[in-house]
Amino acid sequence: MTLARRIIPCLDVDNGRVVKGVEFEGLRDMGDPAELGARYNREGADELIVLDISASFQGRATFLETIRRVAEQLNIPLTAGGGIRTMVEGRAVLLAGADKVTVNTAAVRRPELISELSQQFGAQAVVLSLDVKRKNGSWEAYIRGGREATGRDAADWAAEAVQRGAGEILLTSIDRDGTRSGFDCEVTAKIAATVPVPVIASGGASTFDDFLSVFTLGGADAALAASIFHLETHSIAALKKFLASHGVPVRQTGLDKTPVHSATENR
Amino acid sequence: MKVAVVDYGAGNLPSVERALRGLGADIERITQPGQVAQARAIVLPGVGHFGAFVRGLRDRKLAEPLRVARDSGVPIFGICLGLQAMFASSEEAPEALGLGFFPEMVTALPTHVKSPHIGWNQVRRIRDSRLLRGVPEDAYFYFAHSFAAPACAAATVAACDHGISFAAVIEHENLFGAQFHPEKSGETGSLVLRNFVESLS
């Protein structure tokens, strides 16, 4: 009996559509969030993360509706966030159907936001989104979608956030994000060893071996990827089969093997 | 079959309700003592803090009608914190009283493992279980919690290990509980909810 390592597809949502950032090009439309969510739910994703990257007020206003539409499609957990500034906004995200809310910029500026959300909804509902960049052999935390350095050491900030009540860390390597050069196992291992809560590794996923490394070398509890799943470069089932064959405990959707009707026939 | 879902003011109820509706149950969201008294089957979902949860039940005057429902044989299914609330007390809020359906105390997961225990885990069958009927032995369930009832509780039918052994599924007469979230546990979880709904007819 072991806690399975999780595979988590991520939907970046702009103005109600899933998008992918393409360097120097802007955003490319990847589809409808509810449709993609339903597909990942069916294909054996362990959880789904939906992040609002809308810059416009209008886009932000549609995000709660997106959460509602996605949540309706799922029987797995849903994490949502992106630009959450206040307790009221965090609460709205959870009431719209998310099980967990991510916070980043606002939490750096006012760390009490983490404590407040955690006290009301429980640590298991509060995820610190931690964007990091390598700097002189260490890592610095960034805010505002990776545009602004905080001057804070990533591990120090992670430890404070957990102490304030964050129940999970979504760790994104800005250096690796979008590069397809593999997860940053070093920073993942560093943060995973620092905090007593699960760490979701993000940024750089490309091959099956990248996932294997981030679980074995990085000590990640979960691994997130976006475009390789959206573009159907890899299927979640094939990835999990590969990980299982290398000794990583994963949840392979058991009832796919045992249809529900035959499982209930012998009642 | 009509299932009453207790609304204590802070939980993510839509996912539980959607899952039950998908199995053909009629859902009534209840907030009043009188509604508890009329319910033929009750689901008690819960997330968050033990103290806030049991205070919420008390403030809405739902604790006593829930006890009456228990005594009169109405099936009650506690999910996550809802399971924990069926016990006498919790380390999370030592001053707060649980519903006391079971005498044990809910305790914190140990510090040598990652807590909250978040993710998909398997369970170990201890006794024959109505909720787990037809569920494969190696099935995974989605957990998200920092506290748990002890595996040695008399009502435990399946246990899970995360630093310690704790009660993953409890069953005793008309009382049911799952520490995991069946509504978030894919097809496996759906089968657990189906077993509950079908036990009502």
DSSP-assigned letters across all residues of B53-93: HHHHHHHTT-HHHHHHHHHTT--EEEEEHHHHHTEEEETTS
pLDDT above 50 (res A257): no
Using pLDDT thresholds of 50, 70 and 90, give the confidence band for residue A259.
Answer: very low
B contact residues 131-190, partner A, Cβ 8 Å cutoff: 133-136, 138-140, 142, 144-146, 160-162, 181, 183-190
Mean model confidence pLDDT for chain A: 92
Distance from CA of A102 to the nearest CA of B (A): 15
Looking at the DSSP bridge assignments, the partners of residue A200 are A170, A222
Using pLDDT thresholds of 50, 70 and 90, give the confidence band for residue B8.
Answer: confident
Looking at the DSSP bridge assignments, the partners of residue A202 are A172, A224
pLDDT of residue A24: 66
Q: Nearest Cα to A157, choosing from A128, A122, A200, A119?
A: A128
Q: Is residue A71 part of a domain?
A: yes
Say if A88 is an interface residue toward chain B (CB within 8 Å): no
Please name the helix (run of DSSP H) or strand (run of DSSP E) that holds residue B120, with its range, or none. strand B117-121
Residues B89 and B102: their CA atoms lie apart, in Å, by 9
Question: Testing the interface with A: which of B90, B118, B162 to mutate, by most A Cβ within 10 A?
Answer: B118
pLDDT of residue A27: 86
Residues B48 and B11: their CA atoms lie apart, in Å, by 8
The total domain count for chain A is: 1
Counting one residue from chain A and one from chain B, the pairs whose CB atoms sit within 8 A come to 135
pLDDT of residue A23: 65
pLDDT of residue B14: 86
A128-165: pLDDT as tens digits: 999 999 999 899 999 999 999 999 999 999 999 999 99
Q: Is residue A49 part of a domain?
A: yes
Residues A132 and B104: their CA atoms lie apart, in Å, by 44
How many angstroms separate the Cα of B153 from the Cα of each of A225, A238, B103, B104? Answer: 40, 40, 8, 6
pLDDT of residue B10: 62
Residues A99 and B104: their CA atoms lie apart, in Å, by 28
Hey, which residues of B are catalytic here?
Answer: 80, 181, 183
What are the DSSP E strand ranges found in chain A? Answer: 6-14, 17-22, 26-31, 48-52, 78-81, 100-103, 126-135, 138-143, 148-153, 168-173, 199-202, 222-225
Query: Any residues with CB less than 8 A from the CB of A151 and at least 6 apart, and which?
Result: A140
Q: Give the CATH number, domain containing residue A148.
A: 3.20.20.70
pLDDT above 90 (res B138): yes
pLDDT of residue A129: 98
DSSP structure string for A179-231: T-S---HHHHHHHHHH-SS-EEEES---SHHHHHHHHHTS--SEEEESHHHHT
Distance from CA of A25 to the nearest CA of B (A): 36
Sheet holding B164-172, edge to edge: B26-30, B2-6, B42-46, B76-80, B175-178, B164-172, B156-162, B124-125
Using pLDDT thresholds of 50, 70 and 90, give the confidence band for residue A232.
Answer: confident
Cβ–Cβ gap B14/A71 under 8 Å: yes
Distance from CA of B22 to the nearest CA of A (A): 11
Query: Structure tokens of A250?
Result: 């994963």
Query: Model pTM?
Result: 0.94
CA A149 to chain centroid, in Å, comes to 21
A30-71: pLDDT as tens digits: 999 999 999 999 999 999 999 999 878 787 789 999 999 999
- Share of residues in chain A with pLDDT > 90 (%): 82
Range of the domain at A183: 6-249
pLDDT of residue B13: 85
A100-137: pLDDT as tens digits: 999 999 999 999 999 999 998 899 999 999 999 999 98
**Given the residues A46, A99, A131, A221, the one annotated as active site:** A131
Q: Is residue A178 part of a domain?
A: yes
Residue A42: φ, ψ to 5°: -70, -35
Say if B124 is an interface residue toward chain A (CB within 8 Å): yes
B87-137: pLDDT as tens digits: 999 999 999 999 999 999 999 999 999 999 999 999 999 999 999 999 999
Range of the domain at B159: 2-199
- Share of residues in chain B with pLDDT > 90 (%): 92
Within 13 Å of residue A8, how many CA atoms lie on the same side as its CB? 30
Query: Structure tokens of B17?
Result: 């309700």
Q: Give the CATH number, domain containing residue B66.
A: 3.40.50.880
Section A17-29 average pLDDT: 82
Residues B192 and B134: their CA atoms lie apart, in Å, by 9
pLDDT of residue B47: 83
pLDDT above 60 (res B83): yes
Using pLDDT thresholds of 50, 70 and 90, give the confidence band for residue A266.
Answer: very low
A65-100: pLDDT as tens digits: 999 999 999 999 999 999 999 999 999 999 899 999
B43-74: pLDDT as tens digits: 999 888 899 899 999 999 999 999 999 999 99
Section B167-182 average pLDDT: 98
Show the CA angle centred on residue B56, arms to residues B52 and B62, nearest 5°: 145
Q: Is residue A266 part of a domain?
A: no
pLDDT above 80 (res A1): no
Respond yes or no: is residue A131 known to be catalytic.
yes
Residues A16 and A27: their CA atoms lie apart, in Å, by 13
Section B178-201 average pLDDT: 96
Section B23-36 average pLDDT: 95
Cβ–Cβ gap B10/A120 under 8 Å: yes
Q: Which residue of A has its CA nearest to B137?
A: A254
Alpha helices (runs of H) in A7-81, residue ranges in sequence order: 33-43, 57-61, 63-71
The total domain count for chain B is: 1
Residues A102 and A67: their CA atoms lie apart, in Å, by 13
Using pLDDT thresholds of 50, 70 and 90, give the confidence band for residue A2.
Answer: confident
Query: Structure tokens of B166?
Result: 């704790």
CB atoms under 10 Å from CB of A2, counted, come to 12
